[in-house]
A and B are shown apart, each in its own frame.
Chain A
Amino acid sequence: MADVVATQETIVVVGGGISGMTAAVEAAETGKNVILLERTPSLGGRVNQLYKYFPKLCHPTCGMEINLRRLRANKRIKVLTLAEVSKVEGRAGDYKLSVTLHPRYVNDNCTACGACGEAVSAEIPNPFNYGMSRMKAAYLPSLMAYPQRYVIDPSLLGTPDATKAREACKYGAVDLDMKAETITLSAGAVIWATGWRPYDAAKIQPYGYDRFDNVITSVEFERLSDPRGPTGGRIVRPSDGKEAKNVAFIQCAGSRDRNHLKHCSRICCMASLKQTTYVRERFGDEGQSTVYYIDIRAIDRFEDFYQKVQADSTVRFVKSKVANITEDESTGDVILHGVDTEGYHRYDNRHDLCVLAVGMEPNVDIKSIAGDVAVDASGFIQMGATDGGLFGAGCAANALDVNRSVQSATASVLRAVQVVNRVAKAEG
């Protein structure tokens, strides 16, 4: 990787999701040199794992394609995948990043023909589907993966499968001798766009995510609804594969809760409202969605979306945070218990499937990587470091939807560009 040239006028973007890609493209389009680092084998992040996104219910492939075109067309962007930042040192205008480059075991010759995947027999859980399906251990991360290159999972090394993969490749692309290496990158400014991860639903003990098959998270429901997902878009129960026509959505699962995440994760209300449209799309009038909520926070200008969903006769709203969930062992049905706030009626409602609208937490603990960054009580990066050149973007900075993540990325680019310009002036 000696061909990576980074100077004090380079902007390094950490994280290749929607925020990081936006930041990289926009910084490069202002004429700055950008290095985009992504920890996983391909760009796209969590937005790429959505079936559709609100409010227009378009597919993420579309936005992904536009961003990839801009990215590929720009010579100022250098993309490094499987690159993990372990340390950021220095100050505005003079940063040093320690980056570990993990081996892909597949080089640039790869044409994504898929012969290696066919040759191997070992299977691993597919992280793109949140582990709900398995895939061959020589794989393309997703259909929209960029770069379009296969990955050999490290678990194959030393097994006969590894040899089979290498022998199957007509282009000599499989290189099993690749080693992890650590490099140091210089940067004038750093845009930190490492995004979010879903809150660990198993920690919400009364909801039994770890005990009941038919309690799943909103991100898993997203994969379940996607025709490219583990079930080909069939909304079925994990326990018995039966169609889940009667779906419950529990809002604030882990958010707005001092025992879990203190903050409101902002997107979950809109996400569940959106997911009720998946149920309607799949089952028509036979579907039934029930949203259990404290209060619906349709952020931004999305109140009309909420009203549209309210007008759907198959969607019911229950103003109540569910107290606990039990399972009917004979049928696998989940039973939600609680008391509603509109009349204080006690309910024990039976559903085929329960979707927990889990909250967002920062994906990376920035304090352990770059010490002098200001974070809020939930670990999101805050503005406020007086002389800093490290800027949070997207969900590393706050719980945001796609729209606001992109705005946040643009804002961080404007700040980073100013830092780099200052450096250029001082040197010039």
Chain B
Amino acid sequence: MGDINTAMTEQYRNNFLKEVEANVEEGQWVKMCMQCGVCSGSCPLGPAWEHPPQEIFMMIRAGRRDEVLKSESMWMCTSCYNCIVRCPRELPITHIMHGLANYAHRLGLAPKMNPTRRFAKMFWNNLTKSGRVNEIELSVGLYFMDGFKTGIARAWAMKDIGIGMLKTGRLNPFGFVTHKGCKDKKGIHKMLKKAREIEDRRKGFAA
């Protein structure tokens, strides 16, 4: 009975679900969702999602690959962990959302202008360049992400907080020049390269 049973259930597992299970972080949990909806209802940004997590899980199971991977939805996750705490089946929903976003990004399917994606890229590049975040460069980069004019407007709107941080020594205005990074930059770069190779090999990405 076991073999026939397994064969039958395999039929219901479409290719996209298998793909998610194999390549997305914590993707093997997607099949456990029982569609109760507590995650979607508990999400503080819920109304802003085009497809709430519960719907994303169902779309994966329905094989709607393009719609899921091109979606802005999972980029909305702010990692508040409310869904994980409340999920009756203990699905690591936050991690799955990040996993999906990352996978879509690696495939080049993620929405190009999604602000979360753009900031995440900026943060990653900033961090990995020297092994330590250059805060002034990152915040200026974030403000001026959409051009000079909006950058000035954003910086102006945040000026009180900025001045406060300067006064208390929480922001180094000379960081552009004085930022040092960590000791063994080459070592860090080597490690990241190796990690990338391993991930690519495991998930079948072209190097």
Residues of A at under 8 Å CB distance from B?
206, 252, 256-259, 294, 320-324, 337-341, 344, 346
Contact = CB atoms under 8 A, between A and B. Distances in A.
Nearest to B55: A344
Contact of A258 (B37, B40, B41, B89): B89
A206 B36 contact: no
Contacts of B42: 206, 323-324
B54 A341 contact: yes
Interface in B19-59: 34-38, 40-42, 46-47, 51-52, 54-55
Contacts of B88: 252, 256-259, 321
B86 interface: yes
Contact of B46 (A206, A321, A340, A346): A346
A346 B85 CA distance: 20
Contacts of B197: none
Interface string B70-99: 000000000000000110111000000000
A339 B41 contact: yes
Contacts of B90: 258-259
28 contacts: A206-B86, A252-B88, A256-B88, A259-B86, A259-B88, A259-B90, A294-B34, A294-B35, A321-B41, A321-B88, A322-B41, A323-B40, A324-B41, A338-B40, A338-B41, A339-B37, A339-B41, A339-B46, A339-B52, A341-B36, A341-B37, A344-B37, A344-B40, A344-B51, A344-B54, A344-B55, A346-B41, A346-B47
A259 B46 CA distance: 22
Given A294-B36, A320-B37, A339-B52, 11 more contacts: A259-B85, A321-B36, A323-B37, A323-B40, A323-B42, A338-B38, A338-B40, A339-B37, A341-B35, A344-B37, A344-B55
Interface of B: 34-38, 40-42, 46-47, 51-52, 54-55, 85-86, 88-90
A320 B41 CA distance: 9
Contacts of B37: 320-321, 323, 338-341, 344
A321 B34 CA distance: 10
Contacts of B38: 321-323, 338
Nearest to A260: B88
Nearest to A254: B88
A252 B37 CA distance: 13
A387 B54 CA distance: 48
Most buried by B among A320, A323, A324: A323
Contacts of B89: 258
B149 to A, nearest CB: 36
A108 B132 CA distance: 83
Contacts of A324: 41-42
B66 to A, nearest CB: 19
B200 to A, nearest CB: 35
A125 B90 CA distance: 38
A424 B46 CA distance: 68
B30 to A, nearest CB: 16
Nearest to B50: A344
A206 B43 CA distance: 13
A326 to B, nearest CB: 12
Nearest to B51: A344
Contacts of A337: 41
A99 B89 CA distance: 41
Contacts of B51: 344
A165 B46 CA distance: 61
A37 B42 CA distance: 46
A321 B55 CA distance: 14
Q: Which 8 A-B pairs rank lowest in CB-CB distance, beginning with the nearest?
A: A323-B41, A338-B41, A321-B36, A339-B40, A257-B88, A323-B42, A320-B37, A339-B37
Most buried by B among A257, A322, A344: A344
B97 to A, nearest CB: 16
Nearest to A206: B86
A258 B34 CA distance: 13
B87 to A, nearest CB: 8
Contacts of B41: 320-324, 337-339, 346
Contacts of B54: 339, 341, 344
A322 B40 CA distance: 10
A337 B47 CA distance: 12
Contacts of A341: 35-37, 54
Contacts of B86: 206, 259, 323
Contacts of A259: 85-86, 88, 90
A428 to B, nearest CB: 47
B13 to A, nearest CB: 21
A167 B42 CA distance: 60
Given A206-B42, A324-B42, A344 B36 contact: no
A290 to B, nearest CB: 15
Contacts of A323: 37-38, 40-42, 86
Contacts of A256: 34, 88
A294 B34 CA distance: 8
A51 B52 CA distance: 41
Given A257-B88, A324-B41, A337-B41, A344 B52 contact: yes
